[in-house]
A = this chain, B = another copy of it.
Amino acid sequence: MSSATSYSTNNGLPGAGNGISASGTSPTFSPLYQQIKALITQGLQSGEWKPGDLIPSEVELANRFKVSQGTVRKAIDELSAENLVVRRQGKGTFVATHHEARAQFRFLRLMPDVGNAHYPDNRIIEVKRLRAPAEVARLLDIKSGDSVIFIKRVQSFDGAPTILEELWLPGAIFKGLTAERLIEYKGPMYGLFETEFATHMIRAAERIRAIGANQDVAELLAVALNTPLLSVERISYTYGDKPVEVRRGLYLTDRHHYQNELS
C-alpha cells in the first residue's frame, strides 16, 4: 500500500465500493472491513463454503483481498458475532451449522420450569403442497398462489404434547420435501433444511401472544378447550435477509416457559 492510500479507496477489490449496485442510492463507500465482510458473506451465500466447512485463514484472506490481517479480523469478528461463522483457536474459522449442540436451542426458547433442556420428540401430522394464502405469500415475499409446502406437527417433552406447529415453506426452494424424510429426521428441522436444501437460516423474528385453545388444538395437545397457550409466529431468514419460512407454534406453558434475555 502506498502511503497515500485512503481506507475509503476501492483497493482493487472486485465488487468493492459496495452498496452501489444493490440499490439506487448514492455511491457511498463503506469501510474496507465491511467490504471484506460482504465478500466473505458472498462466499457463504453462494455455497463456496458450506456449513461446517473451514474457510481460508485470516492470513490467506488478507493476501487474497490485498488488505491487512487486522482488517480481515474485524470483518470476521462481525460475522462471528452474527453467528454466521465460528472461530476456533488453533484450528481455524468454520461456517456455522445447525448440526451442533450449541445450535440446538438457538431457535427453541421453550424451556422446562425444572430440570435441564432437552430436545423434544417429533410427530408429523400432515405434509402437503398447497397454493400460498395471501398472508403467507406476503410474509414469504412470493406471489399469492405460488406453491408452498405446509407442515403440521406436534412436539412432546417426556411424552407430553407441548408444541403444535404449522409451517409454510416456499415450494420453489423445498421441492421434494416429503413426510417420510421429515419423520425419519431427528433434531431441528433447520439441520435438514441446511443439508438437503442448501438453505441456512441465520435469523428469525417472532411475535408472541396469548390465545385460547380451540377444539382442534385442544385435542392435539390433550388439553381442555380454551386452555391459554402461547402463540409464537415466526419468520425465518437466510442470507440476504430473504424470508424462507413462516411458522406458527402454539406452546403449552404449564410446565415450560419461553425464555428471553433482555440486554
Taking Cβ atoms with an 8 Å cutoff, the residues of A that contact B are 81-83, 106-107, 109, 202-212, 226, 228-230, 233-234, 251, 253, 257-263
Contacts and interface: CB of A to CB of B under 8 A. Distances in A.
Number of copies: 2
Contacts of A107: 262
Nearest to A251: B210
Contacts of A204: 261-263
B253 A205 contact: no
A262 B206 contact: yes
A107 B260 CA distance: 11
Q: Which of A203, A211, A262 has the most CB of B within 10 A?
A: A262
Contacts of A203: 261-263
A229 B210 contact: yes
Contact of A209 (B207, B257, B263): B257
B83 A263 contact: yes
B210 A210 contact: yes
A261 B226 contact: no
